Amino acid sequence: MATRSSRFPRTRASRGNSCKNIFNKIRQGQITGVGLTRGSQFPVALLEDRDKRAQWQGIPVLLRRLHESSHPNSDLSKIHSIVMELSSLLSMEAMSFVTEERKTPQESVSPNTYTFDLFGGVDLFVEILMRPTLTVQGDLPILSDDLIKDCLSVLYNCCICTEGVTKSLAAREDFVMFLFTLMSNKKIFLQTATLIEDILSVRKEIIQLEEIPNLASLVQSFNQQQLANFCRILSVTISEPDVGVDDKHTLLARCTQQKTNTCPSCAESNQVALLNIPGFIERLCKLATRKVTEAAGASARLELEDWHSWLDNALVLDALMQLAIEEAEQNSTESSDESSLSSSPLRHRLPQSMKIVHEIMYKVEVLYVLCVLLMGRQKNQIFTLVTQVHRMLAEFKLIPGLNNLFDKLIWRRQTSGHVLHRQNQNCDCSPEISFKIQFLRLLQSFSDHHENKYLLLSGQELNELSDIYLNANIIEMEALNNTDRNLVCDGKKGLLTRLISVMRKEPIDSSFRFWQARAVESFLRGTPSYADQVFLLRRGLLEHILYCIIDSGCKSHDVLQSYFDLLGELMKFNIDAFKRFNKYVNTEEKFQMFLTQINSSLVDSNMLVRCIVLSLDRFESQTKDMKVVEVFSVCRLLSYMAQVENRLSFLFRLTSIINVQTLTQENVSCLNTSLVILMLARMRGKLPFYLSALQEKEYAEKYPGYLLNNFHNLLRFWQHHYLNKDKDSTCLENSSCIPFTYWKETVSVLLGSGRSSRCAIATYIDEAYRDLDRDFLEL
C-alpha cells in the first residue's frame, strides 16, 4: 500500500510537469525563434491528452483547427464557428475582470485567456484579420463583418486579461495602421475604436496621424457619434506624454531638450493634421453643445456617483452598445442634434438618466480635444493654427452653446468627493466630474490672454462693462469694442457670471474650486482692465475669496494658490479693490491670519505679493488722487508692504527658495516677483540698497555668497529662457505694465561684470565666495 500510495504523487507531478514542459517549450521558442513557437505545431493527440489534465478547455485544439482552416487559400467564412467558440471561453473572464476591482492581469485569474495567448491565439487572430492585406489583389479572402467583430472582441479581451498582449500589439505598426482602415466600416467601428484606444494607451511613441491612410476622408465619413468616440483616440495622439514627477519637468531640462529637438513634436504635428481636416472644428463644436432633453420628473435623474454600478451591469453595457450601433448605421447626412435619433426604439427604452451619462461621457472627450488644440505651443505654424482655432470656436458659437447647457447638463448640481487632477494626469473620476473639469479647462484656455474672452458675457453684461468705463471716464478697451455681439452668450447671464455663482456655492473642500478660480483668473489675465475687475467686484468675488483664505479653514495648497492668483489679478492697480479688502479684513486678527496664509507658502502666494508691490508703487505716485490717498492712509495691506523691511523679507525668501535646477513652470514666478521688486527699486534709485541688504543677510546667516551667487545664476538662466520666448515675455510685460525692454535692461545691469558698478550683483560678492561662471548643466 505504501508503495502504491507513493506512486500517485509522482504520477500527478509527472503529468503536471509534462504540461509545464509544453508551456516552457513554447515560451522558449517564442523567445529564441527556434523550435516550437505555437501550440498548433504540437500533434493533436498530445494536445487532447494533456488538455483534460491541464484544464485547457480545448483551447489549444481549437486553435490548431483554426490554424489549419485559415491558410491563405481557405474559405474564411467557415472558421467563424471556431472563433465564436473561442470567444465564448474568453468573454466571461474579461467581463469578470472589468466588473471587479481593477487589478493586474494574472494567469490564475484568467486561465483561458492566458492559455489562448500562450498557444499563439493572439498572433493567429492578427494574421486572420490582416489576411486581405497580405493576399494578391483579385484573390482577396472574404471576412464577414460579424467575423471581424468577433476577432476584434477576442483580441480586446486578451488585452484586458493577459499582461503583455496590449504592448505586443502596440509594437506592430502595421497592425495599428490596419485597424484604422477598419474604422471606415460602421458595423465594426465600435469594436475597432475600443481596441485602438487600448493599444495606443500603452505605446511609448505617439503615432503619426498623417500616416493613417486617407485620414481626412476617414474622419469626414464618421457620423457624429463615431466622431465623439474617435475623440477618445485623438486625446492620446495630440497630448504631450506625461513627464511624471522626475526632473524632466524642470525648465532647465526643457531648454536642454529644445536644443536637441528643434522640430515640432509628434503631438504638435498631429494637432496640425487635425486642424487641416475641413469641417473638423465645426463638428466638434456641434457635438460639445448638443442638447439632451431633460425628463420632467426629478426621479429620472441618475446619481452619477453610482455610475460604476450602472456601467458594470452587462445589460446596460449591451444597451449602450446597441444604441451606438443604431446611431452608427444611420446615414452620414444625419443632423447633428438629437432629432435624427428620435426614431430609435431603444433610445426611448433607455432611462433618461442613462442618456445623460451617455451624452456626458463623449462630451468629456470632445472638450478635451478642443482644449488641447487651444493650448498648442505658441510657435510658428502651431501659433497660427491656435489663433485659427480661437476664431473658429467663436464663429461656431461654442461659448453660447455651452452657456445654454450650463444649468441643465454641465452644472445640474454640486458634486463633491473627488481628488484634484492636473492636466494630462490619469483620472478615474465619474463622467460628470470629468465633464466639469474639462469644461473649466476649456474656459481657462479660451479666455487666457485672448480678446475672445468677452464672449463669456451676455449682451447685457457687455453694456454693463461699457457703463463702467464711461462712469470712470476711462477709454474702453479695444477688445471689448471689437467683440461681435452676435457671438456672445444669450439671455441675461453669461458663462462667467454663472461660473462665479456656482463657485460661491461650492463646498469649501471641493477641488473644483481650483479649476473654477483658474477659469475666472484667466478672464482677468493680461493687461489689467479696471472695468473687468469692477464687474467681478460687483458680484462679491473679492469677499468670497477672502472668506475662503481667512475664515473657511481651507487647507488645500492648490485651492489656496488658485485663490491667491485670482485675488492678485482682481486687485492689481485697483484702489476700489483695496478699499473692499480693508473693509473685509477689518481687524488685526484677520490681517495676521491673512499674512500667515501668504507666508505659509510663497510659491503659492508670490503672484499676490507681486500684485501688492506693483499696486503700491503706482498708488505712491498718485498723490493728487484723493480717493487713493484716503484708501492708502487706512489700508493695512498697503501700509504693511510700504515698509521696506517687509519688501526685503519677501525678496530674501523668494531668492532662496528656488535655484536653476529646481525651476519649473510652477515656481518660476518667484524669480519674476523678485525681479519686479528690484526693478521698482531701480526706478527709484534704490537698487544698490537692496543688493547691499542681500549681502548683509548672507553674512548675518554666516553663509556669504549663497543668496547672490544663486540669484546671479537664476538671472543668467532667465536670459536664456525668456529672450527666446515671445509669449512669455509678452505676458510679463502685460501683467506688470513694465515694458519688457526694462526687464531686459535690469537683468543686464544686475549681471554686469564691472566691479565698480553699484547695481551689479558681482560687486556685492567677495572674491573668495564668487561662483558666477559655471555652465548651467554643471550646477
Supply 287's cell numbers.
457635438
Q: How far apart are CA 657 and CA 219, in angstroms?
A: 50
Q: How far apart are CA 184 and CA 193, in angstroms?
A: 11
Q: How many CA atoms lie within 13 A of 691 on its CB side?
A: 24
Q: How far apart are CA 405 and CA 438, in angstroms?
A: 14
Q: How far apart are CA 60 and CA 645, in angstroms?
A: 81
Predicted local distance difference test score (pLDDT) of residue 166: 92
Torsion, Cα 552 555 557 563, to 10 degrees, reads: 0
Q: How far apart are CA 86 and CA 116, in angstroms?
A: 9
Span 187-210, average pLDDT: 91
Predicted local distance difference test score (pLDDT) of residue 263: 75
**pLDDT at 9 exceeding the cut of 50:** no
pLDDT digits (tens, 9 = 90+) for 457-483: 999 999 999 999 999 999 999 999 999
Predicted local distance difference test score (pLDDT) of residue 240: 80
546, amino acid identity? L
CB 425 within 8 A of CB 242: yes
Q: Tell me phi and psi for residue 74, to 5 degrees.
A: -85, 165
Question: Sorting pLDDT into bands at 50, 70 and 90, what band is 26?
Answer: low
Predicted local distance difference test score (pLDDT) of residue 16: 42
679, amino acid identity? M
CB 62 within 8 A of CB 85: yes
**pLDDT at 76 exceeding the cut of 90:** no
pLDDT digits (tens, 9 = 90+) for 726-752: 556 888 999 999 999 999 999 999 999
Locate the DSSP E strands across 380-494.
Answer: none
pLDDT digits (tens, 9 = 90+) for 167-187: 999 999 999 999 999 999 988
655, amino acid identity? T
pLDDT digits (tens, 9 = 90+) for 375-415: 865 444 555 677 889 999 999 999 999 999 998 778 876 55
Q: What residues are paired with 489 via a beta bridge?
A: 458
Question: Sorting pLDDT into bands at 50, 70 and 90, what band is 629?
Answer: very high
Question: Sorting pLDDT into bands at 50, 70 and 90, what band is 163?
Answer: confident
Q: How far apart are CA 767 and CA 779, in angstroms?
A: 19
Q: How many CA atoms lie within 13 A of 609 on its CB side?
A: 30
Reduced to 3 states (helix: H, G, I; strand: E, B; else coil), residue 458 is strand
- Axis-axis angle for helices 352-374, 314-329 (nearest 10): 60
Predicted local distance difference test score (pLDDT) of residue 34: 52
Q: For the chain, how are helix, strand and coil distributed in percent, rounded to 5? A: 70, 0, 30
pLDDT digits (tens, 9 = 90+) for 134-161: 765 556 667 889 999 999 999 998 988 8
Locate the DSSP E strands across 146-257.
Answer: none
Predicted local distance difference test score (pLDDT) of residue 602: 94
Q: How far apart are CA 214 and CA 237, in angstroms?
A: 17
- Which residue blocks in 201-248 are alpha helix, DSSP H? 215-221, 224-237
Supply 426's cell numbers.
490619469
CB 184 within 8 A of CB 136: no
Q: What residues are paired with 329 via a beta bridge?
A: none
Which residues have CB under 8 Å from 270's CB, separation 6+?
206, 208, 209, 210, 234, 237, 238
Span 24-44, average pLDDT: 57
CB 637 within 8 A of CB 582: yes
Q: How far apart are CA 80 and CA 764, in angstroms?
A: 83
Q: How far is CA 203 from CA 164, 196, 243, 274, 571, in A?
A: 12, 11, 15, 20, 46
Span 641-661, average pLDDT: 95
pLDDT digits (tens, 9 = 90+) for 487-537: 999 999 999 999 999 999 998 888 899 999 999 999 999 889 999 999 999
pLDDT digits (tens, 9 = 90+) for 663-713: 998 899 999 999 999 999 999 999 999 999 999 998 888 788 889 999 999
CB 219 within 8 A of CB 278: no
Predicted local distance difference test score (pLDDT) of residue 301: 40
Question: Sorting pLDDT into bands at 50, 70 and 90, what band is 350?
Answer: low
Span 600-628, average pLDDT: 95
Q: How far is CA 723 from CA 189, 732, 774, in A?
A: 48, 12, 20
On average, the pLDDT of the chain sits at 81
CB 60 within 8 A of CB 54: no
Q: Quick one: 293 exposed, middle or buried, by C-beta within 10 A (0-12, 13-18, 19+)?
A: exposed
pLDDT digits (tens, 9 = 90+) for 547-584: 999 999 888 899 999 999 999 999 999 999 999 999 99
Q: What residues are paired with 458 via a beta bridge?
A: 489
Q: How far apart are CA 638 and CA 619, in angstroms?
A: 9
Is 0.75 surpassed by the pTM of this model?
yes
Q: Tell me phi and psi for residue 355, to 5 degrees.
A: -65, -35
Q: How far apart are CA 325 and CA 352, in angstroms?
A: 19
**pLDDT at 71 exceeding the cut of 80:** no
DSSP string spanning 488-503? SBSSS--HHHHHHHHH
Q: Which has the closest alpha carbon to 424: 371, 357, 362?
A: 371
Span 69-96, average pLDDT: 81
Predicted local distance difference test score (pLDDT) of residue 731: 87
Span 100-128, average pLDDT: 76
Q: How far is CA 579 from CA 532, 576, 586, in A?
A: 17, 5, 11
458-480 residues labelled b (16+ CB within 10 A) or e (exposed): bbebbeebeebbeeeeeeebeeb
